[in-house]
Structure 1
């Protein structure tokens, strides 16, 4: 039953799901709007036994350990460069941190033998029939699949088509984030990790490249009400960033000058997705599309866990999507919501809205007891799900 599965999104959750579906005997197709795999982006981290177990069962741990960054220490400074707070590598990097682009490449390589990949295209309509879902693509091609999975992130196209407008499911959390590579590749004296400068409601930071110490990237966060802008217009987004940070000292003018020449800007709101039911008919959501947060919600690790569980439940139910979708959500929702909760604190932590808030953050996290407590909390939250061993299940779908 239901062996052909269309997956929208080739970033993290999509390739991971394609891998597991292929291993269980399904025939996945992955469609991705970008013409190639997306490179760059912030490093992503994995924490706790649950997430590391999924990586181990995928056979990815040895390769990811070879390319891991070793973590990214964070140093907050004042305008004159004096250190106000220093956080260790594991605070942001968890137990293992890897560049997002490298993780996407590894997942694609592992899933490619099991899946058909279609780049440079996207879904324009979904029409469920008695036997499947008729899908029309932007290219004009029409195909029918047994099931459709939205693994296309916080701004999910599948969720919009099958569930309704984004405004019904995505909540703005009061901040925006931007990152880009600097046009000037010479940054003498920049140590491993990142250096950040705060004023109330704003963070400007610069971080050394994990492999090439002569290169660096900028990361900015600022508080703002929900803004109206074109998500596909980088020049408009650059103006929003310049307007938010104009007049600040430290290295901000130089970083903004680099922004104007940057070809690879990432800009988005810090938001959270909340979907009451993760499936409708033959369509289901996975990863950030179902229960994500832009930053700080352990979205990457949760996406890999969700892909493992969804594929496993489809195999265990022998393709019966009604049973599998229900079991998948029942098993995963509490875990995903617990991980997602951290996203609501990220903007406030990185760019507190007042000077008092900045000083309080710096004071509290300078205390080892408080810092260690936060690290242990993150590990506990990410380790609360006991993973079934679907590969050992006697009801596994066979090719």
Structure 2
């Protein structure tokens, strides 16, 4: 039996652990956090990603856990509707996917599907990686060494393990924007739409529904990179209060509800990950660590699910891991390239800096929301989630 170490217990990590175990591989799952990371915002599952969920028997559970979001609504500074884009009923179309779920609920569902025989280790991470002709060996932060036939790195966009294993290979494409996320108390005025205010000065204020009695809030701002994402949460919130001091729409409400110890508060730089190769010897990278397309794309979760499924399937199909990893790259490369190709000017075009720019954007949104234009836009700008053929692999 071939063995695997999977570093990262998020969407990609849990998915690849599930499929490798189903194909007969003994798997060890490592996670840096002390417990399963069950927080996070709304995520879309589209096209090939939704097909993976179906093959795992989770489609009904995901549907039952829907956030209930009915579409995307752009509003003006007084909260009045500028344009609406209702959720589509297909696997791919529209800003709001039919399968919309909180990231934490998806990760929990995937984790519960991974059998107990998969060895899990929380609160530890890899500090060194060494490849040998017949195995890969890792050193853990809290002591000890482990070895396996394969190491799968399924971590986040700023994966330390990826940079240990593939030094100098990662290019982070910065998209010029910070986004802060958090869950805030729901009010009677909150509805089932993803309400989005282009607030001028490169800013946006957004509210989205969830299925746990709160409202998911986001504050975004176009800005040059200055390390804000690495500051303590208290200093991040202080900066946000300065940036949104004029209180556009619901900004003050959001910031009043968020605190430095808020369990769901999170701020990051919007970016993509580009690697010339996702494999090296007995190492494979999958999910955001390999090809994060950015939250703007609506494709991150789908790529994580599809990539994990294909990686595990190819590894069980080909006796030689080199052939399997080569096929994984071949099957995923074009799909990833399409997912990472954002509409021209994104995200700056949706975050004007002047009042005139906001007015021009709103005019364009009204036109785009008309029935003929919406149908055309659905064809031209829908995420390419259904452009990947998922092979059928034989489970043991």
When normalised by structure 1's length, the TM-score is 0.89
Aligned to 1:28: 27
Aligned to 2:64: 66
Provide the C-alpha distance between the structure 2 equivalents of 1:273 and 1:163, rounded to a whole number of angstroms.
13
Aligned to 1:324: 324
* Matched-pair contact (CA < 8 Å) for 1:74–1:196: yes
* Matched-pair contact (CA < 8 Å) for 1:71–1:96: no
Aligned to 1:133: 136
* Matched-pair contact (CA < 8 Å) for 1:338–1:381: yes
Provide the C-alpha distance between the structure 1 equivalents of 2:343 and 2:151, rounded to a whole number of angstroms.
27
Aligned to 2:162: 159
Provide the C-alpha distance between the structure 2 equivalents of 1:343 and 1:240, rounded to a whole number of angstroms.
29
Aligned to 1:89: 87
Q: Helix, strand or coil: the match of 2:10?
A: coil
Q: Give per-residue Cα distances to partners, 1:14-65, cap 9 Å, x unaligned.
A: 00000110111111111111111112322111223x3332222111112212
* Structure 1 residue 231, shift from structure 2 partner: 3.1
* Structure 1 residue 353, shift from structure 2 partner: 4.2
Q: Give per-residue Cα distances to partners, 1:276-331, cap 9 Å, x unaligned.
A: 0111111111111111122133010111111111111111112x221111110011
Provide the C-alpha distance between the structure 2 equivalents of 1:264 and 1:96, rounded to a whole number of angstroms.
22
Matches within 5 A, 1:256-267: 256-260=255-259, 262-267=262-267
* Structure 1 residue 263, shift from structure 2 partner: 3.7
Q: Give per-residue Cα distances to partners, 1:114-166, cap 9 Å, x unaligned.
A: 52111111111111122212211111122112211111021122211111258
Aligned to 2:91: none
* Structure 1 residue 269, shift from structure 2 partner: 0.9
Give the structure with the higher percent helix.
Answer: 1
Segments of structure 2 that go 5 or more residues without pairing to the other structure are: 89-93
Q: Helix, strand or coil: the match of 1:144?
A: strand
Segments of structure 1 that go 5 or more residues without pairing to the other structure are: none
Q: Helix, strand or coil: the match of 1:55?
A: helix
Provide the C-alpha distance between the structure 1 equivalents of 2:74 and 2:219, rounded to a whole number of angstroms.
13
Aligned to 1:38: 37
Provide the C-alpha distance between the structure 2 equivalents of 1:111 and 1:344, rounded to a whole number of angstroms.
40
Provide the C-alpha distance between the structure 1 equivalents of 2:116 and 2:344, rounded to a whole number of angstroms.
38
Matches within 5 A, 1:123-272: 123-164=126-167, 168-182=170-184, 185=185, 187-200=187-200, 201-212=202-213, 215-229=214-228, 231=230, 233-260=232-259, 262-272=262-272
When normalised by structure 2's length, the TM-score is 0.90
Provide the C-alpha distance between the structure 2 equivalents of 1:68 and 1:207, rounded to a whole number of angstroms.
12
Q: Give per-residue Cα distances to partners, 1:329-356, cap 9 Å, x unaligned.
A: 0111101211222388653354244442
With over 3 angstroms needed to count, the CA separation of the structure-2 counterparts of 1:223 and 1:79, relative to structure 1, is same
* Structure 1 residue 362, shift from structure 2 partner: 2.0
Matched, 1:368 2:392: no
With over 3 angstroms needed to count, the CA separation of the structure-2 counterparts of 1:186 and 1:60, relative to structure 1, is closer
Provide the C-alpha distance between the structure 2 equivalents of 1:378 and 1:61, rounded to a whole number of angstroms.
25
* Residue from 377, 386, 389 that aligns with 1:383: 386
Aligned length: 385
